[in-house]
């Protein structure tokens, strides 16, 4: 029993020392163990007095192989001469179900900031067009179906009347009346054939519009469900390297999303203090508009608000999610074409403030 209690005390003492060591040193602590003069084991973060400290093996950060050091690879390839050129190394193209957008690295371990509508494109122009096409196809199909039903009902009624009239003529006894009825019958029959041609044309239109409608419905349902459920996205770097990033988080209140690639050393854009921005300061919008990779437009700060920065730098479709940077190569906002449409005004670019972005995703990224 005494031995058991002794073992428990020793174990608790060991755990206490290890916990104290961990709390004292945020990094990897060096722990020494040795027997004192009384023959008892001692665990401490200091080497024994008067004795050579034993070799201590510390846990090292996993090394990144040169093939996974994207920052070094891109820097070597492009050799940027200015801070803005250097910032462009961190900009990526993001491929979604309904199109392409932009994003940029905000940490050296692969976090990518972009617009929510880039990765959840159910409110993009492309999705709206897809929805409108589906709606139009459905309406056209409905109209064709209604016309076919009307023409079919009228043709069926005329066919019955013609058959009844044909029987009445065949049973007629008066030859003169029979000849007159025959002439009238032929007139009705020609009218019936005209209606039959109209019906056949309506049927062809119906079948064509039905095919268009079913195709539009399948495409709309497929892409809509895919857009909602998709978690992994292809991203393309400045040098055309293709990687897969997974969706980490989306904002409920703002047009922002966070993605991440794993096990890569990535370039990233440092954040500027948005509070230092002033009207007239020069800024650069970097993105991938209209399928053209890594395009840069410039302008000046037109207006500064708490949530976003307005500039006269052009933000084209496909540039959404890219960074708005200063001439020091520091990012102040996330360009958003959708927000520009909300604010209104052609020729103005709007970027969501980086203060908002870091507040949204503070669990994952920190201001640098």
294 confidence band (pLDDT: 50, 70, 90): confident
Three-state DSSP state, 75: helix
Three-state DSSP state, 93: strand
Q: Residues 107, 241: one domain?
A: yes
- Look at the chain and report how many structural domains it folds into: 3
pLDDT higher than threshold 90 for residue 210 = yes
Residue with tokens 């992994």: 232
Residue 97: inside a domain? yes
Query: In this predicted structure, which of 52-66, 147-161, 309-323, 345-359 has the lowest mean pLDDT?
Result: 52-66
Residue 311: inside a domain? yes
Question: What's 13-45 look like in SS3?
Answer: HHHHHHHHHHHHCCCCCCCEEEECCCCCEEEEC
**pLDDT on residue 3:** 55
Residue 52: inside a domain? no
Residue 211: inside a domain? yes
Q: Residues 312, 199: one domain?
A: no
Q: Residues 182, 224: one domain?
A: yes
Give the predicted TM-score (pTM) of the model.
0.62
pLDDT higher than threshold 90 for residue 268 = yes
Residue 50: inside a domain? no
What is the average per-residue pLDDT within 151-164?
91
pLDDT higher than threshold 90 for residue 23 = no
Q: Residues 197, 268: one domain?
A: no
CB atoms within 10 A of CB 278: 9
52 confidence band (pLDDT: 50, 70, 90): very low
**pLDDT on residue 21:** 46
Average pLDDT, the chain: 81
330 confidence band (pLDDT: 50, 70, 90): very high
Beta-strand pair 282-287/331-335: unpaired
The CA-to-CA distance between both ends of the chain, in Å, stands at 57
Three-state DSSP state, 275: helix
Q: Residues 244, 110: one domain?
A: yes
Q: Residues 273, 252: one domain?
A: yes
Q: Residues 332, 245: one domain?
A: yes
Q: Residues 210, 247: one domain?
A: no
Q: Residues 14, 108: one domain?
A: no
Residue 59: inside a domain? no
Q: Residues 32, 135: one domain?
A: no
What is the average per-residue pLDDT within 161-182?
88
Residue 255 sits in which domain range? 66-117+235-360
Most confident of 10-19, 219-228, 236-245, 336-345: 236-245
Query: pLDDT (tens digit, 9 = 90+) per residue, 275-290?
Result: 888 999 999 999 988 7
Residue 38: inside a domain? yes
59 confidence band (pLDDT: 50, 70, 90): very low
φ/ψ of 139, rounded to 5, equals -65, -45
pLDDT higher than threshold 80 for residue 151 = yes
Residue 275: inside a domain? yes
**pLDDT on residue 203:** 93
CATH code of the domain in which 249 resides: 2.40.10.120
């Amino acid at each position: 029993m005494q031995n058991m209690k002794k073992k428990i005390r020793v174990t608790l003492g060991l755990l206490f020392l290890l916990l104290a060591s961990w709390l004292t040193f945020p990094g990897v602590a060096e722990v020494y163990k040795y027997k004192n003069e009384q023959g008892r084991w001692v665990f401490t973060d200091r080497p024994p007095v008067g004795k050579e400290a034993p070799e201590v093996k510390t846990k090292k950060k996993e090394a990144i192989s040169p093939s996974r050091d994207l920052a070094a690879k891109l820097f070597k390839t492009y050799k940027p001469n200015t801070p803005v050129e250097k910032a462009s190394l961190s900009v990526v193209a993001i491929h979604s179900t309904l199109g392409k957008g932009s994003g940029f690295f905000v940490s050296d371990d692969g976090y990518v900031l972009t617009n929510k509508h880039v990765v959840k494109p159910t409110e993009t122009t492309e999705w709206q067009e897809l929805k409108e096409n589906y709606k139009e196809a459905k309406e056209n199909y409905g109209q064709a179906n209604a016309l076919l039903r009307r023409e079919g009902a009228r043709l069926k009624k005329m066919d019955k009347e013609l058959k009844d009239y044909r029987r009445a003529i065949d049973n007629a006894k008066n030859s003169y009346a029979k000849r007159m009825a025959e002439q009238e019958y032929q007139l009705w029959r020609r009218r019936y054939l005209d209606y039959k041609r109209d019906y056949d044309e309506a049927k062809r239109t119906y079948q064509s519009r039905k095919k268009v409608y079913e195709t539009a419905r399948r495409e709309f349902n497929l892409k809509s469900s895919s857009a909602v459920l998709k978690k992994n996205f292809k991203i393309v770097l400045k040098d055309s390297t293709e990687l897969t990033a997974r969706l980490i988080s989306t904002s409920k209140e703002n047009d922002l999303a966070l993605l991440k690639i794993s096990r890569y050393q990535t370039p990233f854009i440092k954040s500027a203090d948005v509070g230092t921005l002033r009207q007239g300061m020069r800024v650069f919008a970097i993105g991938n508009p209209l399928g053209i990779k890594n395009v840069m437009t410039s302008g000046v700060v037109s207006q500064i608000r708490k949530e976003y920065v307005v500039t006269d730098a052009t933000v084209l479709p496909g540039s959404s999610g890219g960074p708005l940077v200063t001439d020091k190569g520091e990012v102040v906002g996330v360009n958003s074409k959708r927000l520009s449409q909300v604010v209104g005004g052609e020729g103005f670019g709007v970027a969501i403030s980086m203060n908002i972005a870091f507040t949204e995703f503070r669990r994952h990224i920190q201001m640098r």
